[in-house]
Amino acid sequence: MTLPANDAFTLGLPHDPARIGIPSSSKIPFVSSPKARSPSASLRAKPSSARQMSVERHEPHPSRSPPPQSSANGISNGSAVRQRKRPRSASPTSDPASSSRSTELSKPARPPVDWEIPRKTLHSSIGFLTLYLYASNGNPRTVVYALSLTLAVIVPADILRLNSSRFEWLFERCLGFLMRESEKKSTNGVIWYIIGVIFVLTVYPLDIATVAILILSWADTAASTVGRLLGPYTAPLPRSIPLVPFVPALRLPLAPRKSLAGFVAGSVTGAAIALGFWGWFAPVHDAQLDFHLPAGFVEAAQETLPAQAAQLVGRAVEAVRASGLPIGRWIGLGTLGTVCGLVSGTAEALDLGSLDDNLTLPIISGGCIWGFFKVLEYFTGSG
């Protein structure tokens, strides 16, 4: 059964010709006859609307059109309706390699390390010159006079550099590669270096002064270099450590900007300097460094310990004496190296405000080592 032409309009029914690709009349939207126009329907008609009212054309032999076939995705074939593309969003199961790459790109780049090669080379060369002067029996007074004359030239030049822009430009053009950026607006570090060397050569014994200069020259360089290389991968130093155990009032201030890697490098280098200098280069007198058991210690231990343990102690002491090995000296030298290493690393890590470490490092390390020798002299009775 077919409907008349005037009654054949539908509201988006399945037999709508527009949904199967047949265009409707643009002149009369709802009536197939060109003689009539539906004003209400024309007001509702919108060409861009997806759900548009349409009218079937009057066929000579009208027949019911077959329903459109639906595709697998539920959309009828021949449909003129376009689906909007959804914007792509980041999937929760994204590639881990790309996410890690984006994370690496988002991290700030590490600034390049300034190794200060010219400065460190000059800094370390002073140690070799000091060893040469000590081995050649150089007079420390002559060295002090030469350093004092050098200081008399450098100090006025540094004052002029800080007060004259033209001289500052000339000075930094010639010697700026040996200076740090922090020293270009303050006192040159070479001045503090020379004052520290003059102090230890004047006040301390010659061997202790030599070791203090070697610590300044080599331990400070090792701590700075290793700290720049491995410092970002190790923990920073605490702000302070107790000077005496279980006494929190007495504490040593440390520099948190320095790292554990630099402290270890300075300590190991200081211990190696002490062992090499006093164990091989300039051996210390046996009475000052030899470690020996107090008189009657072995007999008292044998009386206190059980019989079997006392026999083992007696045999061990006799075996050491029969071997002729300087066990006591090795113990004393090892103790000296350990003390000098800790003193070197701690003195380099101290935070003493505006004082330059080129001044404080030789003075503090030399004074602590001298005090250690005084303690040895007190307990060994050698003076």
What's the predicted TM-score (pTM) here? 0.66
CA–CA distance, 248 with 264 (Å, rounded to integer): 24
Average pLDDT of the residues in 251-278: 94
Top-confidence residue, 94 or 347:
347
**H or E stretch covering 340:** helix 327-349
Joined together, the tokens standing for residue 262 give 């630099």
95: confidence class by pLDDT, cuts 50, 70, 90: low
User: So what's the pLDDT on residue 253?
Assistant: 92
User: So what's the pLDDT on residue 383?
Assistant: 53
Q: Does position 325 have pLDDT exceeding 60, yes or no? A: yes
Give me the percent of the chain exceeding a pLDDT of 90. 38
Top-confidence residue, 294 or 64:
294
CA–CA distance, 58 with 35 (Å, rounded to integer): 14
340: confidence class by pLDDT, cuts 50, 70, 90: very high
Q: What is the pLDDT of residues 107-144, one digit of tens each?
A: 555 566 666 788 888 889 999 999 999 988 889 999 99
Average pLDDT of the residues in 318-337: 81
User: So what's the pLDDT on residue 333?
Assistant: 86
Give me the percent of the chain exceeding a pLDDT of 70. 65
User: So what's the pLDDT on residue 34?
Assistant: 47
Joined together, the tokens standing for residue 90 give 């980041």
Average pLDDT of the residues in 201-230: 94
User: So what's the pLDDT on residue 216?
Assistant: 95
Q: Does position 191 have pLDDT exceeding 50, yes or no? A: yes
Query: How many Cβ atoms sit within 10 Å of the Cβ of residue 211?
Result: 30
CA–CA distance, 218 with 173 (Å, rounded to integer): 27
299: confidence class by pLDDT, cuts 50, 70, 90: confident
CA–CA distance, 363 with 375 (Å, rounded to integer): 18
Task: Report CA-CA distances (Å) from 128 to 200, 206, 214, 216, 255.
Answer: 17, 16, 8, 12, 29
User: So what's the pLDDT on residue 361?
Assistant: 95
The percent helix, strand, coil of the chain (3-state, each to 5) is: 60, 5, 35
User: So what's the pLDDT on residue 32?
Assistant: 47
User: So what's the pLDDT on residue 156?
Assistant: 94
User: So what's the pLDDT on residue 71?
Assistant: 46
Q: Does position 209 have pLDDT exceeding 50, yes or no? A: yes
Average pLDDT of the residues in 43-50: 46
DSSP reduced 3-state for 28: coil
9-13, 64-68, 221-225, 376-380 — which one is most confidently predicted on average?
Answer: 221-225
Q: Does position 28 have pLDDT exceeding 50, yes or no? A: no
Average pLDDT of the residues in 153-181: 88
Q: Does position 47 have pLDDT exceeding 50, yes or no? A: no
CA 50-64-23 angle, 5° bins: 35
